[in-house]
A and B are shown apart, each in its own frame.
Chain A
Amino acid sequence: MFMYIVVLSFLLLSLLLYALLGGADFGAGVIQLLSTTPKAEKVIGRAIGPIWEANHMWLVIAVVISFMGFPAIFKVVSTALHIPVFILLLGIIFRGTAYAFKHYDAIKDEKSQLMYQRVFVWGSLVSTLFIGITFGAMSLGKIDPNATDFYTGYIAPWFNFFSISVGFLATALFAFLAAVYLIGENEDPEVKEFFIAKAWKWLLASVAIGVVVFVAAYVDGLPLFNELISSPLSIVAVALASILLPFLFKTIRQGKVVLARLMAGAQTVLILGAWLLVHYPHAIMLSNGGSLDLYDSRAPDATLAVLGWALMLGSLFILPALGYLYVVFKGHGPEETI
């Protein structure tokens, strides 16, 4: 039981860190969707350059923990949600390579730079959208592992109002996180102003899409609201998230970098936490009203034991090294890349 908790905590931790760090990195592409400036592009490139590979490792770790620690869940997600996961992968391929190519191309002519930039932005949008769709589909309850026709088996679980609106919610939240993070990455007032404006817009968008998600849940027959108020802890989480909102708007307006980052992080933790509390111990809701539960889907004890140890020992190595990376490049991105 102890190791089950360790493994589960690491799974949640890596998903959370992926949402916070990787999300900001994906969101950096999304915020350039509507408008961007050369200066802002530069700040974004510098801010995520040294860390993006490390950021996306959280996703890989989450995948490994799922297939080793919770194999039944991994199997159902990769079968029923094959299509959105595959599209997510295409997004990851395109944005990751476009970003690196843009950055390391030896000849920086306008035409190819523009092409990389476009692919990076659209790839980021596709990725964030389909991360959200995948998680939305896991909680909606239209997954039917025994489906016999293609539509109920592989399309209906995710191609619906609710999952898609969760997709847009994730996009907006990631974009918001990125903007808040980037405010502090540069001293130039013009650029700061640019990101402050973006942060405001995407926070507003997140709130609006959040409302749509509730409507969508109602339309698609998911009693999201009732579930949220069924547990005192999730009520507290939602209440805190709402109370934080006006303060968050204010700190962003004032350009208070650290406070805004902390509050934006807290906001994300609260939203994910509420989602988790509503669902625990269910990982996937099925169309027959049942669910796949984390505890029941866990791997044998021997596996959980070694996995738990591997993760604990691994974090002894990773955390200090990661800390050093962030300290070296904190605030002032590298002027001279190689």
Chain B
Amino acid sequence: MGDLLAARLQMAFSLGFHIIFACVGMAMPFLMAIAHWRYIKTGDAVYKDLSKAWSKGVAIFFATGAVSGTVLSFELGLLWPEFMEHAGPIFGMPFSLEGTAFFIEAIALGLFLYGWGKIPKWIHWSSGLVVGISGVASGILVVAANAWMNSPTGFDYDPLTNTYSNIDPIAAMFNPAWFTQALHMILAAFTATGFAVAGVHAFLLIRKPANRFHQQAMRIALLVGGIAAFLQPISGDISAKDVAVRQPAKLAAMEAHFHTEEYAGLLIGGIPNEETGEVHYGIKIPGLLSFLAHGDFKQEVMGLDQIPEDERPPVAVTHFAFQIMVGAGTFLMMVAFLYFFAQKFRPRWLGHKNFLWLVALSTPLGMLAVEAGWTVTEVGRQPWIINGIMRTKEAVTPMPGIQYSFYTVVVVYTLLAVLVSWLMKRQVQTLAQNYDSMDEEIDLSQNKANTKTEVIEEL
């Protein structure tokens, strides 16, 4: 394996790992805050237990998110020193603000996790909310940094001398892509986490359909995930229009759109052949791509034939990833629609096995869409690390043997992923033993007192 490929794979693997924990870190505090708020309002113990049970799981995710994030901030230098030397002073602004957001998040998390019964309840509740708000803030900031790589602004570049001058870090942070990307990312975090959590509880409900704890958990998660899943395609459309203007090569790769044409069709499915520029087995909806990209069925859409050969991104990977994201997104939106419909008109459906299976099967789809979406963004930007300015191969570290650090990262993170899943399983196993409200069935009286004393955790 070449060093450049190894470095790219290591970066992709590390980010792909971190993003899952980041999504949970952004969305989960809000789910907990909803449950916690309902507890404070109603005194119903099921919500308190839910909030506590979730926060235990979240603590494990946070720790893993924090270490994998720390690894990333070093990896930027370890793998792309040439990039960081030039880009650091330009796009570092959001990272420096992110430091503050992380700090507040870590502090608020400490207060939230350890504050039960120690600090006034509204301060406690707010600290949970602050965890979520600062998580979202850090998500927006880091995506702004990534957006700069897609639409570099805030400096002048002289290709002859390879110098960067007139640096304006604020303009770089508010680059043209930051808003659409950040919006889409935050929604993605809520969709992915909402459906992942709802799916797990739905799965547990299949065995015990009347269990109130899991019922309430699934509802809160579906509410949050469902709203986000509805907004996701709208925001995705805004992103696509943006990409059409800012990175036509990426759009062409996403759509395997080899030939520039008017009334360009939207491709669904299909296997692109990069050698011949043909697509097999796909369905084309005439004019729709022109419409989605430019808001006009007739408008010409630039194809890969207009892009110099050495500046074309890999087509197949980008196209497949895009299909996976859109497919998953469409599916989740339909599940969300079904949920809201049933909630309003057919409440009994919500306890039906088929519905529960549908939600359970959606568990991984949101996270899958997140991974696919990032593959679109990152692979679709290739061969550039800074779009149009610096090539990825110019940025890579001169140190040989990167494949060994890549293998190490793969082994370590795979091990961690297995361990985290195992720990989650153990959390679920002990629910009944730790939380009295786990015995409640849906039709029991609402305000049953919590009799079992809480299990005090030993270190």
Residues of A in contact with B (beta carbons under 8 Å apart): 41-42, 45-46, 49-51, 53-54, 56-57, 59-61, 63-65, 67-69, 71-72, 74-75, 77-79, 82, 85-86, 89-90, 92-94, 96-97, 99-108, 150, 153-154, 299-300, 302-303, 306-307, 310-311, 313-314, 317-318, 321-322, 324-325, 328-329, 334-338
Contacts and interface: CB of A to CB of B under 8 A. Distances in A.
A336 B64 contact: no
Interface in B74-93: 74-78, 81-82, 84-86, 88-90, 92-93
A101 to B, nearest CB: 6
Contacts of A45: 459
A303 B89 contact: yes
A63 B73 contact: yes
B67 to A, nearest CB: 4
Contact of B459 (A46, A79, A150, A154): A46
A75 B55 CA distance: 39
Given A67-B92, A310-B96, 7 more contacts: A74-B81, A86-B405, A100-B64, A101-B419, A103-B59, A325-B111, A338-B52
Interface stretch (B102-110, B182-190, B333-341, B377-385): B102-110
Contacts of B69: 60
Nearest to B134: A317
A334 B78 CA distance: 39
Contacts of A303: 89-90, 92, 167, 169
Nearest to B83: A75
B78 A82 contact: yes
A50 B114 contact: yes
Main secondary structure of the interface of A (DSSP, over half): helix
Contacts of B52: 338
A336 B77 contact: no
A335 B59 CA distance: 17
B114 to A, nearest CB: 4
Interface residues of B, number: 77
Contact of A106 (B76, B167, B427): B427
B100 interface: yes
B231 interface: no
B60 A74 contact: no
A103 B405 contact: no
Contacts of A96: 63, 66-67, 70
Given A310-B93, A336-B117, A106 B429 contact: yes
Contacts of A321: 103-104, 107-108
B93 A334 contact: no
A232 to B, nearest CB: 35
A227 to B, nearest CB: 28
A338 B93 contact: no
Main secondary structure of the interface of B (DSSP, over half): helix
B412 A93 contact: yes
23 contacts: A42-B459, A50-B111, A57-B103, A60-B102, A63-B77, A68-B89, A68-B95, A74-B85, A79-B398, A86-B78, A86-B408, A90-B412, A94-B412, A96-B70, A100-B62, A105-B423, A150-B401, A299-B167, A321-B103, A325-B111, A334-B114, A336-B456, A338-B457
B337 to A, nearest CB: 35
Given A53-B110, A67-B76, A86-B78, A97 B408 contact: no
Interface of B: 52, 55-56, 59-60, 62-64, 66-71, 73-78, 81-82, 84-86, 88-90, 92-93, 95-100, 102-104, 106-111, 113-119, 167-170, 397-401, 405, 408, 412, 416, 419, 423, 426-427, 429-430, 434, 454, 456-459
A313 B86 CA distance: 25
B159 to A, nearest CB: 19
A51 B106 CA distance: 8
A318 B103 contact: yes
B118 A100 contact: no
Residue of A41, A75, A328 ringed by the most chain B CB atoms within 10 A: A75
Nearest to A337: B457
Nearest to B90: A303
A60 B60 contact: no
Contact of B102 (A57, A302, A334): A57
A102 B63 CA distance: 12
B92 A68 contact: yes
Contacts of A60: 69-70, 73, 99, 102
Contact of A302 (B64, B85, B167): B167
Nearest to A74: B77
A51 B111 CA distance: 9
B88 A71 contact: yes
Nearest to A42: B459
A77 B77 contact: yes
- 5 closest Cβ pairs, A-B complex: A68-B92, A78-B77, A100-B63, A314-B100, A299-B89
A90 B111 CA distance: 28
Contacts of A325: 107, 110-111
A61 B81 CA distance: 18
Nearest to B164: A300
Contacts of A54: 103, 106-107, 110
Contact of A99 (B63, B96, B111, B429): B63
A317 B137 CA distance: 14
